[in-house]
């Protein structure tokens, strides 16, 4: 099963600071979604690096979901974790 990796992990990976994500990529264990693609790409200033990263992202499995269904699912996960005492710093995460 592929895993959805948060933007902060991608940023660390492209800065050479995340060996675990590199291993997951080598094992074809990673997928990506539109929001994470946007967050990763919008932070890249250098055009050459942008196109290099975009090419790597284009090779990944894309997870797409109906926005309403995804929002309801995310709200349920957030509520479940909050009831267990976990604090999620941003609702999008």
Q: For residues 78 and 81, what is the distance between their CA atoms, to the nearest angstrom?
A: 5
> Given a cut of 70, is residue 91 above it in pLDDT?
no
Q: From residue 56, how far is each of 13, 26, 60, 65 by CA, in Å?
A: 12, 12, 7, 22
Give, for 31, the enclosing helix (H) or strand (E): strand 30-32
How long, in residues, is the chain? 93
- pLDDT tens for each residue of 67-86: 899 889 888 988 998 899 98
The region of weakest confidence among 5-9, 29-33, 73-77, 88-92 is 88-92
- pLDDT tens for each residue of 14-64: 888 878 998 999 999 999 999 899 999 999 999 999 999 999 999 999 998
Of 33, 45, 44, nearest to 6 by C-alpha is 33
Structure tokens at 6: 């948060």
């Amino acid at each position: 099963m592929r895993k959805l990796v948060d933007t902060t992990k991608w940023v660390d990976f492209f800065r050479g600071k995340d060996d675990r994500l590199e291993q997951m990529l080598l094992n074809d264990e990673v997928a990506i979604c539109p929001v994470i693609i946007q967050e990763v790409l919008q932070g890249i200033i250098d055009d050459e690096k942008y196109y290099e990263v975009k090419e790597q992202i284009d090779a990944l499995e894309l997870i797409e979901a109906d926005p309403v269904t995804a929002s309801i699912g995310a709200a349920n996960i957030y509520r479940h974790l909050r009831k267990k005492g976990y604090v999620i710093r941003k609702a999008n995460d």
